[in-house]
Structure 1
């Protein structure tokens, strides 16, 4: 594909292709849809400013994810964010069971949460997650396994009461 960075068509293509994924990963960190949308917008602005060249679309996707993760972490560290109170009821529309699963995933510790989201929601392989997060594949595998066990225990508690 002939890419001309900065053209409206290419930016629209990127937004259409990656915005949902970037919102999901940002939401996993921020737990707030509005902040996740802001971060996603900032990712595309950074893309326009930098105009990076990539070997292939997988590198492009990994770069966008890495920027979204870094911006999310930066926002979580910011003094402004630490002094804000979350709004109740700020969630992505889903049916009740899906919402319970999403809430269970979001309740995981961050090191498991991002890996579980990338693996199950974004269909990334362990190798791809390793490249995006700059963590060894063996560590990704063990954290994914621990995340699954934790998620299973959380969901087991939630669904036992139904």
Structure 2
């Protein structure tokens, strides 16, 4: 593997992977570890890609799967996130971020990939290994929950 290939991949995709991992895990350190694990897998497996989008999709899939594994860990059920670690530019953004973080991890992941990363439901389904209808259902449930949460916070 070309040593510059990993460096280029990190520069190109680390922010995207970090944001996706943070949306799923809701923990800064866990998200950083998940991204690091994805790049280690990239280095170890040295996969061949059809193009830059295929590389990005592969890295996101590895990151999402790693996040799912972390969420299944028994010790994770005994911790609580500190919301101070999620800065937002405005009060409204902070309220929205808190509402998104209140969603279950699978809905949070779907919302992040759809709204923040701009993927279509078919692409999200491919990345998460779920049916496209499942992704649409998760997004629909998440929208309803977010609407309810955000309406309750409005003065």
Shorter-chain-normalised TM-score: which range?
0.7 to 0.9
Aligned residue runs from structure 1 range 6-155, under 5 A: 6-7=2-3, 9-82=4-77, 86-87=81-82, 89-155=84-150
Unaligned runs of 5+ in 2: none
What is the TM-score when the length of structure 2 is the normalising length?
0.87
Distance 1:136 1:66 in 2: 15
Q: Distance in 1 between matches of 2:95 and 2:58?
A: 30
Which deviates the most, 10-19 or 120-129?
10-19
Cα shift at 1:62:
1.6
CA distance in 2 between counterparts of 1:88 and 1:64 reads 27
Bigger share in helix: 2
- Structure 2 SS opposite 1:94: coil
Pick closer, same or farther for the CA change 1:39–1:6 going to 2, 3 Å: farther
Q: Deviations over 1:55-88 (max 9, x none)?
A: 2222211211111112112223334545556456
Contact 1:33 1:92 in 2 (8 A): no
Aligned residues, how many?
A: 155
Q: What is the root-mean-square deviation in Å for CA atoms of aligned residues?
A: 2.0
Supply the distance in 2 between the matched residues of 1:49 and 1:117 (Cα, whole angstroms). Answer: 28
Structure 1 gap segments, 5+ residues each? none
Distance in 1, Cα, partners of 2:43 & 2:69: 20
